[in-house]
Structure 1
């Protein structure tokens, strides 16, 4: 049994696997971007210092041929896009990243890095010197250019008596360097590689250590090699148990189920119940014990095999245009046969083939992911929490679409979800709890209206005529907000609701000062007057929809300190404020559940002492227990005097803690809640502001 995060001892053999191609494409593209920008854009050279990170990750997780193939492809792309010098830089970056990743994978140390860096430096030095020896004419032109530059410096220095010795020194040094050019060039390359290796060992090495929690090369979605013909259904699980490396308990235990063509099966469970682990088994992952029987291979990502639609559709969107994304990655001859318009019409995106994928709402992106999956003609389609990030109307429409697919295609659909309501249309429902199949799940109490215990104060945030257009002045401009007028009072809990694409997230970023509106103003009212929020960064904090993206430190305590909670006492107070055990301060952020990650972000925000907190979809992706816990936490923060602005489409749950509701539709405020909360300050209109 391997320790958690430890790489597997044996590397795979044979042709490159789909997961290796996918990883190479993503990390190679990142390296090309970093090297190209760092080489061509003034003052961006520092990007090349981090360009070795993607290549380091690649060599740490995969075999040498993956790194070699990625380096060759990335070098050619860089040469075409930026020229010879950036392409040469990319080779150096790949060598350094490969050395650090390989040494880390083999549990080596600094001496191994020095040895490999020296060997790589000698190889590159021999190659460079050999080229100049071979092409003597080019060498002479280069040397003449250097001599002329040195002569120019000497002539300029001769005009100033005090600089004349410096000019002669430059000329003499240039002569010596050109006389012994092979030694200077070779020694310089070797020294540069050794310095780069040592520097990258401490910088890149720490990044790889930080990412040790990630699955090793035997990726969780990448099953073992199966040379049988693709035939994922019917699939039968008998006594299936799965335990992750280093875990103390089973993620799944004793699962029995069968999925056949024509079925729509719902798998319902709360966070940590084993739902995603079950989808990995169905997609081809081998169980720890038990048997999985199917007539052929699962064929994940292969034509006629298994396709997956994930929780975050943007992670699966690769094409610039909708039509391109549908057939992205398919062989040319297969892509030419796909009825793109027919598939888009089937999923409710008729006529959108020429639209940019970046302009789609969350629900539309999920539909696009389904269309791209259908283009692979799957026999088994797995939708893993595909409904958790979209609004209720979009969720109902997507479930109806998925339920209808097995009736129109020879396939089965498995929907994994937190919501019992999503399972209403299913032919069969599998309930999971603590990794086991159960008859039903416990009913968690819904949040109830929490009475305000502290009065609100004067306005603290004022928005007047706020408009925003993305890509303004270009053919791709996309208006998002149209004349927003809003006033938020100190200590208020304001709920802003709307469907996907209504402009909620754009408004959140403007309120936090991270986006400057195209027109209008968003001002923070302080004791010394009103100031544009974008000039008061940090006074209004934004909690992202995906909390894990905001956690950048190794452990919880360090994360909170980095936001402003100086000392263990401040960290403890911040954890107390969000209802977390103080012992969690020493835990890695990678160990946090979705609900815990949201609370840690809020603890860090509380420690930074902001005037206003904007929360973008704080309930997204949480099960009923987690949702109730976050609502209860927000009520406590509201009653502590903190001003909360909640951006959400979960009206029923969030209305229990918020004083007022503002509705957005297509970038306009169209409705407001006129219910006045208790303890409102006398003489103020608590529902006003949305004018």
Structure 2
């Protein structure tokens, strides 16, 4: 609510509040609806004052005014409902009288009983003043408190683009016709940037083509997709016969990197036509589109039960429902397993052969470009003949022995929404033991249960059956009762960074003082000058390292890393693998959950394979890594 008021006019806040209140009242009743109104008022005050560059006095004045209005309405309602008020007051008086009668039986408590009865009479006599004053005081306290908490969040989000979003194209009154699009000497520089994100780009995309744009992180790939989607360049020319029509039927559609950020419908069939006008949605062959993208018969499934690869296929189906002329897949393969990536690339490559459209795939995986009609290599914002080759991680020899068992899972099973019609089994009978100082790799495709296992190991999810125990030096306890002893690094590292600067983030995890922050940064190979940098300005690889630095500062006994290489280019992947070897050799127990076997296996002592929520071999300790061995069944 605060962000809404900070970015939009009052009418948007009002409409959202009314709609939210109605839905909340239907779903949860009157009290919840009243709470939502209070939230909207406080959020609206803080957001509006921040937008108008006001301060605490303005917040206090507006909070007092809002409290006065709410107090007047509440007191007025109680005055109108006089019979209900008198009934309530009589019950309170009777209760006070009963307390006084009981106290009168004991001489020592008799004065206390008289005091209770007299106090209740006074409160009920001046009820309008106490109720109204209490509401005003509560609103003032909430406003002042929220100014410091919510206000800080809004300040931190000030970098987010507003209505002039960098992805959005400006108004174009021409008919929708995005292809063919031709770029001539195109350049683009972001506001306040010292260098250009793109420079001297020449490119033409026409109907029937499958074009791959390959580059490492920071090479300008996403900026180029914004130009193709209709964003004007700051240099050069872009010509097309009509408007780009971003999000418009027959125009340009985008499939983004994180599939869960694009999924809006509760059911798969709903998501395919989400946002389409009713007339257009009625004409969409939902079952046909789902079959085309490999999701046949899944229209009735909940979107929350889909794997990452299935969510990406659903995003493609939703894009095809708009019959786009240009489909842009921006890093759409980076968060899914190798098999799912191959399937998605094959699907995208086949679309221009069956529809009058072009597909542009943006990726940092050279293998994804093998099926493309043309490949554009980007480096530092310019087109190049080829990208530099980065060395693959070599098998890193262990420098210290492993210790005794530290984490033990026995019969672990988990079912989401258990006991409801929507229950979804995720894990079945997992038996696994991890030794102190070991680096264990858990591999498996999207939807195999890897992330659920990670959350159980970190104690953030209690399994539906079985046990996950932490063996400490003197006793054994369930890991969910030792939160913090096992730390989890999320797949999307940026979501785990909550403070303004790198130094503040590390201190918040336990690295108190400049020396401790510097030591944590040293441990992950980052320059100490980064301690003062905003977390918003970190690259993907830097964000992952900062999370690991924060984890190290917290001195956990075990570190669980969920997909640590997801979304990174070859250089970033090699850097993270090197970091994992360093952490292992410093004595940390690592559990790496990933589908990037070929890279991560170089630093791991053992590999276990998870498929459909089951370990392929219950004797997981027998699965040893042998260089050069391919992944078959459960062993690489």
Find 1:579's aligned residue among 519, 522, 525: 525
Gaps in structure 2 of 5+ consecutive residues: 104-109, 628-633
- 1:523 to 1:83, Cα distance in 2 relative to 1, 3 A: closer
Kindly indicate whether residue 93 of structure 2 is the aligned counterpart of residue 151 of structure 1. yes
Query: 1 CA distance for matches of 2:126 and 2:407?
Result: 67
C-alpha deviation, 1:237, in angstroms: 2.4
1:537 aligns with 2:479: no
**Residues 526-605 of structure 1 mapped to structure 2, 5 A cutoff:** 526-605=472-551
Q: Does 1:140 align with 2:86?
A: no
Any idea what SS the aligned residue of 2:361 has? strand
Distance 1:533 1:412, change over 3 A: same
Matches of 2:39 and 2:339, distance apart in 1: 48
Alpha-carbon distance between aligned partners in 2 of 1:541 and 1:154, rounded to the nearest angstrom: 52
What's the CA shift for 1:651?
A: 1.2
Distance 1:88 1:416, change over 3 A: same
Query: Which residue in the other structure is 2:423 paired with?
Result: 477
Of residues 106, 111, 116 in structure 2, which corresponds to 1:166?
116
Following TM superposition, by how much is the alpha carbon of 1:85 offset from its aligned partner in structure 2, in angstroms? 4.0
Q: What is the CA-CA distance between 1:146 and the residue it aligns to?
A: 4.5
For residue 175 of structure 1, what is the aligned residue in structure 2?
125
Deviation at 1:236, TM superposition (A): 2.3
Secondary structure in structure 2 of the residue aligned to 1:424:
helix
TM-score of the aligned structures, taking structure 2 as reference length? 0.91
Give the CA deviation at 1:123.
Answer: 4.8
* Structure 2: distance between partners of 1:130 and 1:551: 46
Say whether the 8 Å CA contact 2:210–2:372 is kept in structure 1: yes
Distance, in Å, in 1 between the alignment partners of 2:536 and 2:31 is 39
* Pair 609,117 (structure 1): closer, same or farther in 2 beyond 3 Å: closer
Task: Output the CA distance in 1 between the equivalents of 2:31 and 2:416.
Answer: 34
Aligned-pair distance for 1:118? 4.2
Instruction: Trace 1:105-254 onto structure 2 (pairs within 5 A).
Output: 105-124=51-70, 138-159=80-101, 160=103, 161-162=110-111, 163-177=113-127, 181=128, 189-254=135-200
Q: Aligned in 2, Cα 1:88/1:535: closer, same or farther, shift over 3 Å?
A: closer
**Shift of the alpha carbon at 1:104?**
0.8
Contact 1:522 1:532 in 2 (8 A): yes
Distance 1:636 1:195, change over 3 A: closer
Kept in 2, the 8 Å contact 1:232–1:379? The answer is yes
Residue number in structure 2 paired with 1:384: 330
Could you give the per-residue CA deviations for residues 143-197 of structure 1, whole angstroms, max 9, x where no partner exists? Answer: 42354245324523542332224313422442244xxx4x766665555444433
- SS in structure 2 of the partner of residue 655 of structure 1: helix
- For 1:611 and 1:555, how far apart are their aligned partners in 2? 26
Aligned mates of 2:369, 2:406 — CA distance in 1: 44
Deviation at 1:666, TM superposition (A): 1.6
Supply the distance in 1 between the matched residues of 2:39 and 2:591 (Cα, whole angstroms): 44
**2:353 corresponds to which residue?**
407
Give the equivalent residue in structure 2 for 1:48: none
**Structure 2 residue 277 is the aligned partner of structure 1 residue 327:** no
Q: Distance in 2 between matches of 1:426 and 1:519?
A: 47
Aligned length: 617
Shift of 1:492: 1.8
Instruction: Look up the SS of the partner of 2:208 in the other structure.
Output: coil
Stretches of structure 1 lacking an aligned partner (at least 5 in a row): 1-54, 678-688
Matching of residue 375 in structure 1 with residue 348 in structure 2: no
Paired with 2:459 and 2:532, the residues of 1 have a C-alpha distance of 32
CA 1:407/1:79 → structure 2, altered by over 3 Å: closer, same or farther? Answer: same
Counterpart of 2:599 in structure 1 is 653
Once residues 467 and 162 of structure 2 are traced to their aligned partners in structure 1, the CA distance between those partners, rounded to angstroms, is 49
Query: Relative to structure 1, is the Cα distance of residues 336 and 676 closer, same or farther in structure 2, using a 3 angstrom cutoff?
Result: closer
Match of 1:426 among 372, 393, 397: 372
**Following the alignment from structure 1 to structure 2, what is the Cα–Cα distance between the partners of residues 186 and 483?**
58
Q: 2:235 aligns with which of 277, 280, 289?
A: 289
Please report how far the alpha carbon of residue 126 of structure 1 lies from its aligned counterpart in structure 2 after TM superposition.
Answer: 5.8
Give the alignment partner of residue 393 of structure 1, picking from 339, 346, 362: 339
Q: Which deviates more from structure 2 when the two are superposed, residues 395-404 or residues 260-269?
A: 260-269
The alpha-carbon deviation at position 418 of structure 1 amounts to 0.6
